[in-house]
Amino acid sequence: MIHLVIKFALTAGIVVAVSEIAKRSTIFGALVASLPLTSILALIWLYNDTQELSKISDLSFSIFWMVLPSLVFFLLLPAFIRLGLGFYSSLISASLCMAVVYYGFTQLLSYFDIKLF
């Protein structure tokens, strides 16, 4: 149980740190946020929990492919905000568009026989 609490605390701490850093410097906040901290933590937690290198390898490979469609979100969110949709409408719209791109991208990977584990 303590292991789970440590996971939550460390992960939440990173998210809070990014938001606090971004208040002072958006570029530095973006730099820290763009680091694959979530992925690295997930790989560490998975390894500590399972010790299975094949799972680590599979997760890393899948993360690589899933990062590509997620970039759509970061392009569309500021575009929607600039169009005057407001923050929450822009966030929801960008998220929905990203979900559609995720679906299409997984279909494309399947077409080219790229297996996501």
Q: With contact defined as beta carbons under 8 Å apart, do 76 and 54 qualify?
A: no
What was the pLDDT predicted at 32?
84
Reported pTM: 0.76
d(CA 103, CA 98): 9
∠104-82-66 over CA atoms, to 5°? 25
Q: With contact defined as beta carbons under 8 Å apart, do 94 and 45 qualify?
A: no
What single string gives the DSSP state of each residue in 49-75? HH--HHHHHHHHHHHHHHHHHHHHHHH
What was the pLDDT predicted at 117?
62
What was the pLDDT predicted at 115?
82
Among 57, 71, 70, 67, smallest CA distance to 117 is for 57
Query: For the chain, which residues score pLDDT lower than 50?
Result: none
Instruction: Give the chain's mean pLDDT.
Output: 92
What was the pLDDT predicted at 30?
86
What was the pLDDT predicted at 16?
92
